[in-house]
Structure 1
């Protein structure tokens, strides 16, 4: 085909896309083409090449002597910069808060592979987690003068192995089995290798702990999930009339595609029930929905108290959303799997076959039951009332044991 004919064919296809699918679809095609031509896929690699460690070569120094237990510790926490309201960071900051309350000095080290403004990241931390007193630093400037440093994700474990080279104890707070975030390939293997660096690993929940044993062959310390029942609770005088979804289209493990198809089917079955979305704004839905965007915890509890049921999708470790819904009296519909059930043992959960119709049917069953009011109350009462205190105590205990010794 000649150059002119090929160009003409491309223009014809472009007009066809614009006519049949709209200008947004055409813009998406152009963006995808540019993404492929410019090798933009490399931007999703969360580490610079020089920050990738290798478990076969990791040999890091530890202090020659242990400090006295009368001496407060200086503890570093290595993390990627948090987005406002990030659930994983919220859990991590609960552990940091507990270490500070135990009398230790904490320092945050942010690893931004793209060289972002640390001061801008700090403003987000101070706004969304104002209880944290720790200083905020750029991990690229070094990680010096600590008794211990805790990695909080697979990429920060690599950074700790590469940049945390002064004598210290090193730990790893693991909230999910992160190789599952990727197809089998480079990032899967690099994520899995992070568990072999010799750091003391603290697993959040039985699912993560069992996979670390079976897939990697290490034995972690284990703590359990909590739920902030001071925030997530039934509110008087609220009428439950809708259903709710935490929407994260850009995070595959949150199952948005399945959830969207399920809600489309649900709307066909129950056109009178309002559908609420929070989290990311979603365009081009084929059903009416009220979109709330990012919500603070108290605002989210208000939304839950107006919802009969909600979708709490997660295809790796269980989402915190499920137990927070329960605490607020909202029946969570969760994709059924052994991994999901490992840390969510509760008779009030609606377990769904992870297909569009399976999820829609489970949600339909929740909104059509005759005992909705008593079910909401029973669900709320089923949630443990000690919050995150046990996990916080466990994490502080493990850090202190690793640094002070027995």
Structure 2
């Protein structure tokens, strides 16, 4: 094994630990040592991709033998701070109010935790839900609906027999997460499985419907009203403008490198502007302008961080996350790249959109910072837009669609 490969795998291990904790990294290493030929051993392709040719799981369910308000959610291993899991659990919680019995079924976990422990972590890391937790598909009880939540889980849902209706909770176009190759092809294939899609936003619903003939139901975004709200103005007005940037190098679709180039151009034009980087520890990056490194931030501390900034740069090369709405709810104007996957949520009224170039985005930020009237207008429009969204309304749309499928 080459030294470069050792460095690469060590870097991946450290990133895994930062996202999932050192104990989970230890479990993963033990799993590799015991079952995958050793941490530095040969990669077993067939072990990694067994789920693609997954044999049938369970026995066929009968319509009269299972309640049409039961949902098995097939979910990847839960990680602390995972935005994707947060959205899943939020819909689970809100569907409970509509009389649905939800089950959380962990799929493909290398750490194999006990169900009670997983449920405890969900409560601790996110919020309490009534849903029972199962550590694999084999132990899950029959359900009327079975919901895939990522492309690997879709292969398990396809194989799962103890259900009447297969569905797909799609939060992004996952083939774009990978270079052109096996993973992107296998991910794309899942959209042709014939599942009922529930998508994060209208862009994704339209794309899957038009390109893969998937029946879709678009669900909107919202934000946690208890957490995200305008912050009290400081008693002493800030001397310098502050720019927030969601800096997350491991997530390529958030365009970290482009963001730095944009901010460098802004810093050159506005040298007194303060630039805040949050989302990942990037202190080991050589950044040739002054920044405030915030790194990973506890959920409870985000509103104060957001509210202390005059403008936020949020870049996305695929579907948007909840971040723009959370910033808007805190009264922070958002600057983003103009694209079909951003414009279903953001527009020229509630945000500032620009071409995904250094010149376009840096000019948009500078123009906004130099125009107090425009900042106030975008701030108010973004806040009003965010306030008209509702997780409860989106869950109601999903519940009604599920009921129509059952009937």
TM-score surpassing 0.5?
A: yes
Alignment partners' CA distance in 1, 2:264 and 2:118: 37
Secondary structure in 1 aligned to 2:295? coil
Partner residue, 1:308: 310
Q: Flag the 1:59–1:104 CA change in 2: closer, same or farther, 3 A.
A: closer
Deviation string for 1:339-368 (max 9, x for gaps)?
A: 211232351311122123332222222222
Deviates more, 1:146-155 or 1:371-380: 371-380
Alignment partners' CA distance in 2, 1:381 and 1:142: 46
Partner residue, 2:219: 223
**2:150 is the counterpart of 1:148:** no
Q: Flag the 1:370–1:29 CA change in 2: closer, same or farther, 3 A.
A: farther
Structure 1 unaligned blocks of 5 or more: 1-9, 11-26
Structure 2 unaligned blocks of 5 or more: 12-38
- Structure 1 residue 294: Cα displacement: 2.7
Partner residue, 2:23: none
Deviation string for 1:127-177 (max 9, x for gaps)?
A: 122232222221264433323221111111112223x22244221111112
Which structure's CA Rg is the greater one?
Answer: 1
- Structure 1 residue 199: Cα displacement: 1.8
Alignment partners' CA distance in 2, 1:81 and 1:346: 38
Alignment partners' CA distance in 2, 1:34 and 1:226: 37
Partner residue, 2:379: 376
Secondary structure in 1 aligned to 2:310? strand
**2:108 is the counterpart of 1:132:** no
**Pick aligned residue for 2:392 from 386, 389, 395:** 389
- Structure 1 residue 225: Cα displacement: 2.4
Partner residue, 1:292: 294
- Structure 1 residue 259: Cα displacement: 0.9
Secondary structure in 2 aligned to 1:334? strand
Secondary structure in 2 aligned to 1:292? strand
Alignment partners' CA distance in 1, 2:344 and 2:110: 36
- Structure 1 residue 384: Cα displacement: 3.7
- Structure 1 residue 253: Cα displacement: 0.8
CA contact (8 A) 2:230 2:329 kept: yes
Alignment partners' CA distance in 2, 1:113 and 1:222: 29
Deviation string for 1:300-338 (max 9, x for gaps)?
A: 111111111111111111232112212221111111112
Partner residue, 2:267: 267
Mapping 1:324-343, distance limit 5 Å: 324-343=326-345
Give me the CA root mean square deviation. 3.3
Alignment partners' CA distance in 2, 1:28 and 1:264: 31
**Pick aligned residue for 1:83 from 79, 82, 94:** 79
Secondary structure in 2 aligned to 1:52? helix
**2:96 is the counterpart of 1:93:** no
Which one has more relative contact order, counting CA pairs under 8 Å at least 6 apart? 1
Task: State how many pairs are aligned.
Answer: 372
Partner residue, 1:107: 103
CA contact (8 A) 2:60 2:161 kept: no
Q: Flag the 1:60–1:295 CA change in 2: closer, same or farther, 3 A.
A: same
Alignment partners' CA distance in 2, 1:224 and 1:158: 26
Superposition TM-score, scaled by structure 1 size: 0.81
Q: Flag the 1:62–1:305 CA change in 2: closer, same or farther, 3 A.
A: same
Deviates more, 1:171-180 or 1:235-244: 235-244
Partner residue, 2:353: 351
CA contact (8 A) 1:63 1:169 kept: no
Secondary structure in 2 aligned to 1:194? helix
Partner residue, 2:17: none
- Structure 1 residue 207: Cα displacement: 0.8
Alignment partners' CA distance in 2, 1:273 and 1:40: 49
Alignment partners' CA distance in 2, 1:355 and 1:39: 41
Superposition TM-score, scaled by structure 2 size: 0.80
